[in-house]
Amino acid sequence: MEQDLRTLLTSVRDGAPPPRLSVDDITAAGRHLARRRRLTLLSSVGGSAAAAVAAVTAALVIAGTPAALTPAVDPSTLPNAVSPAPTAFADAEPFVTTYNGYAAGSYLVSDPDLVTMAYQQSSIDAGIDLSAEPLSSPPLPATTVPAAGLSRMPGLLRGGILVVYRPGAFDPTEFLKSAEKVEVRTGFGLLRNAGGSGQPTPSPPDRARLQKMQAQIPSLAWQYAKNAWAVIYWSSWESLPTKEELAAIADGLRPSATKQFPVGFLPSFVPHGFQLLSVSYGTDMGTGNQVVSAARLSPGLPTLPLTQPIDLQGFPTLTLSFGRTNAGPRMVDKLDCTSGVQCQRVLGDGTTYVKAELNGLKTTAQVTQITLGIRPQNADNMADWPPAVKVFP
């Protein structure tokens, strides 16, 4: 029985398939597995250490870095920043303004409302209250720039004008003949009582009265910059300022950024050889008018230096103007011409007009042709008006 069992086991063993791996293969495989486990363990430990070092380093860097500082911003570099006011008057070309309006005590000096080839001019409002007086003409629309030196009573002046001459454009000889020295911010001014040189010219009765009282009406001239003079010409005997008040007005004149003076229309035709003499908001066109913009051209310009403002009413000129009217729609596009020297045309809905006028000149150019060629700008938006120096190069 035992012999039979041994024989059976031996036969089973001898008939089994041979093993796939030998003893040597199993031993080598075991060694390879052990080596891989060691490498995996070392890699894991090394990676954790590196991560820990990196974390510690980052923490140290973060802890050691100061808080970020906001750099200081220069306000002048901002897009909408206001540029600082200049400290000196610019040597600007004609028809370019170099100062703004200002207040001096109870007096109000307007922005330049008229410019010529030789000077800039502002109106001075003395602040007389004439509200109780009747009006003989309708008030100017708010969009126009009225002459601040004019009262609401035709022919009655209530202030004067400030004329800021360009360098070398004024000869102070008349002031040097007989004048009182008055201390001003830039040195000394010259005060003389012979005023009444302001524009516009008063009515004949007031002019006669003005001539009688001329010795009481002051003018003050002073140098506001090297070889550059400014003069206050008073025009009213109703509001005579003291010399201290005149000095205060003079002291208020300060430089500003330069601006090209605008004009409210575009002409299609200008006679050959005519040059730009002056541009204004209508302050030189007399009282009771509703001129919004005016330009005077002439075949010849005054000789410099001047001793007083140009007599724009008497100088030979071609005057182009644009203004408001209440003519009504029936008058639209109709020409109203007088003797070949003046022509007016109502436009739009009958509330605006353009006009051409010859004063002391004879020319082959027809004022009708000139008037028809005047194209007005928007009277309610002066900001879009073109510079006069570009319209009349």
pLDDT single digits (tens) 30-87: 555 445 444 443 344 344 444 443 443 434 333 444 444 444 445 455 555 566 778 8
pLDDT (tens digit, 9 = 90+) per residue, 332-368? 999 999 888 999 999 989 999 999 999 999 877 789 9
User: What is the reported pLDDT for 237?
Assistant: 76
Q: What's the gap between Cα 214 and its chain centre?
A: 38
pLDDT digits (tens, 9 = 90+) for 110-142: 999 999 999 999 999 987 544 433 333 333 333
On the 0-12 / 13-18 / 19+ scale of CB atoms within 10 A, 265 is buried
Say which range, 21-35, 304-318, 350-364, has the weakest mean pLDDT: 21-35
Output the average pLDDT for the chain: 77
User: Sign of dihedral through CA atoms 267, 268, 271, 276?
Assistant: positive
Strands 159-165 and 255-260: unpaired
pLDDT, residue 236, reads: 79
Share of the chain above pLDDT 70, in %: 65
Whether residue 188 contacts residue 222, with contact meaning beta carbons closer than 8 Å, is answered with yes
Q: What are the pLDDT digits (tens) for 189-225?
A: 999 986 544 444 556 666 665 556 556 789 999 999 9
Per-residue confidence band for 254, with pLDDT thresholds at 50, 70 and 90: very high
